[in-house]
Structure 1
Amino acid sequence: MAMIYGNVYVAQISMGADLNQTLKAIVEAESYHGPSLIIGYSPCEMHGIKGGMANSQKEMKRAVETGYWHNFRFNPRNIAKGKNPLTIDSREPAGDYVDFIKNENRYTRLQRTFPDRAEKLFERAKAIGRKRYHHLKRLQSFFEPDESLDSLSTK
């Protein structure tokens, strides 16, 4: 939502998935003269990751690979440069989304208690994750510079 304003630096990061993207987002946000918003995915102890918090970096990577989380950066400075301000840093979701969420006790508890409901919710969440990725791709197209509009402003 903040991206629509056009003057807010926005990034979504997951350090375990892509350390370089995380650092780039932090540097860009810090150097931006205006409001900046960085949203980071970070598992916590309450997620109940199988194998414990020692596996949090792997969990962050799997979150991005499966489409549970998407990494991107929206840099308003690129608009003035005639570049697309929205960079999607994560790939199209691949891997087993449901297997990913079943690696966390907060979801497996639901499955043990309400197995039929849980399976439906897991599949729905998987579809929503893919839909969010395709929504980001549409937003990227929306922000693509339009040279035909540039010619109108110079006349």
Structure 2
Amino acid sequence: WIFGGDGWAYDIGFGGLDHVIASGEDVNIMVFDTEVYSNTGGQASKASQIGQVAQFAAAGKAIGKKDLAAIAMSYGYVYVAQIAMGADMNQTIKAIAEAEAYPGPSIVIGYAPCEMHSIKGGMTNCQSEMKRAVEAGYWQLFRFNPMLKKEGKNPFSLDSKEPTADYIDFIKGEARYSRLMQQSPERATELFEKAAENAKKKYDLLKKKVEFYEE
């Protein structure tokens, strides 16, 4: 197994990561996605979300997050999963077990709240924050297992349900977003609405992937 953060996987180390998964070798990769450079002072990365305040994005990041999972899935022979153990422990364990068993490259991307998020109530609420992220449609859970296609089964499984909570209400519970509302309410409203719409489109796209692979 190879373990790394989002700054490495999405950004400064992406070339190497892409080379490894494209090789077809039997290697497993776990990405801890904090959506920011957590170890070097909280700089924005390509994993940072729209509206997120971080170093080099003091006015809120204006562009969307890189879709690392979609890039990996485009090869067709890479096992890909997105997990959040606080939201669904069973799905997390299943994804890791499937990645381990898969006879080729696999990448598991885990949502990882960190102190840079400034979660309301602190890091003791880390697990429940993952659950809220999935319920609000901020983070999606899914698995793509090419082995199932060889068995005549749908290789793509969308494991998170339709969002039941409000996206904007969720992000306002983290200071990495709420501070933008304090600094620039109009810009915050614009970016938050854009981010919420993007999240809805992302979930709709994932539903279409289920239909696409059924054909």
TM-score normalised by the chain length of structure 1: 0.91
- Tell me the CA shift for residue 4 of structure 1: 2.3
State the partner residue of 2:134.
64
State the partner residue of 2:79.
9
> Whole-Å Cα distance in 1 between the matches of residues 198 and 128 of structure 2?
22
State the partner residue of 2:119.
49
- Tell me the CA shift for residue 61 of structure 1: 0.3
Amino acid at match of 2:125: N
> Whole-Å Cα distance in 2 between the matches of residues 48 and 59 of structure 1?
11
Normalized per residue, the structure richer in helix is 1
> CA RMSD, aligned part only?
0.8
Amino acid at match of 2:209: L
Matches for 1:1-150 after TM superposition, within 5 Å: 1-144=71-214, 146=215
Query: 1:57-76: CA deviations, max 9, x gaps?
Result: 11100101111000000011
> Whole-Å Cα distance in 2 between the matches of residues 141 and 134 of structure 1?
11
Amino acid at match of 2:114: C
Q: Which runs of 5+ in 2 are unaligned?
A: 1-70
Amino acid at match of 2:147: R
SS at match of 1:5: coil
TM-score normalised by the chain length of structure 2: 0.66
> Whole-Å Cα distance in 2 between the matches of residues 94 and 120 of structure 1?
22
> Whole-Å Cα distance in 1 between the matches of residues 167 and 128 of structure 2?
14
Query: 1:102-144: CA deviations, max 9, x gaps?
Result: 0000001111100111011111111111100011111121111
Structure 1 segments of 4+ aligned residues over 6 angstroms from their partners: none
> Whole-Å Cα distance in 2 between the matches of residues 20 and 33 of structure 1?
22
Q: Share of identical aligned residues, percent?
A: 61
Q: Which runs of 5+ in 1 are unaligned?
A: 147-155
Identify the structure with bigger relative contact order (alpha carbons < 8 Å, sequence gap 6+): 1
> Whole-Å Cα distance in 1 between the matches of residues 137 and 155 of structure 2?
22
Amino acid at match of 2:207: K
The structure with the largest alpha-carbon Rg is 1
